[in-house]
Amino acid sequence: MECNVFLVGITAEENLTCPKCGALVSKGDKFCKNCGAELAWPQEVVPSPVPAVPPYERSFSMVERFWKLVVSPSEAMRDIAGAPDYSGVLVIIMFQIVVAILAVLGVMQKIRFVGPSQQVSWIWGFVGGIMAFAVILSGLVLVGFWMLKSLIVKHSCDNGSGWTFKVAAAVTGYAYISDLIFGVLGAVVVWVLLPQFTVDVSSVNAATQSLANFTAQANWLKLWYSLPFSFIGLAWKSYLGSLGTRFGTKEKCSLGRAFVVFFVLGLVGVLFGFINRW
């Protein structure tokens, strides 16, 4: 005997009917009670579970990240974007402050104060106070500029990726390693080429003129030697930042766009620093 199988659907009124004779049936029925036709119910499709993506595990320690930023920037920035942290950035900023202190001390060694001992002692005390204030201020400025720059980078390079501020801040901060390295090189060059100066504190006019001459020569050295280093370092920092941004945004922000954002922000900082020195 030929057996016909009918698929039974649910109507808008949630009533089940036999597709052969139209009689009302129940969902549990296998055969129509009116005409005996075999009923088949559509199978519910169960969606396959989406496999969970395991969280990224950090590959390099802090020291290894510093080294990789020099020898293999792509590896380092991929790891930083995948497992961001602030500790490495704060270490870089701390060393930048230390380098600035050593640079100032090196420059001060080029100056010899002569005259009454009381005046010499007072001048050294005054200079020491200015240096301490400058160190505290520079640290605050570095941290503040890092936060501001990270915020601008996050919004300028998002492109719908939804990356977090922590990733943007880590990428931006680790890129400052170029400033640290080129800051050391620039400080060494200026210290080596800067001549010795003697300042006679017994005469205010003579002391003022000597310090003015010393400052002028120091500024020219910074212009002709530190400025080229600053631009080379800026290009390197922008490259590092653009790599980290590409990885942090899951490649939704292009390398070129991120490079331009980092370069423009860095250029503003470089020009502002040199204008202040002059």
17-72 per-position pLDDT tens digit:
777 787 777 777 777 777 877 777 666 666 666 666 678 888 999 999 999 999 99
Across the chain, what does the average pLDDT equal?
79
pTM to 2 decimal places: 0.71
Per-residue pLDDT, averaged over 162-166, amounts to 93
Diameter of the chain measured on Cα atoms: 127
Residues 190, 105 contacting (CB under 8 angstroms): no
Choice between 132 and 94, residue whose per-residue pLDDT is larger: 94
Percentage above 90 pLDDT, the chain: 33
Cα torsion 176, 256, 65, 158 to 10°: value is 90
Task: With CA atoms as reference, report the closest residue to 23 among 14, 33, 12.
Answer: 33
In the beta sheet, which residues pair with residue 6?
A: 39
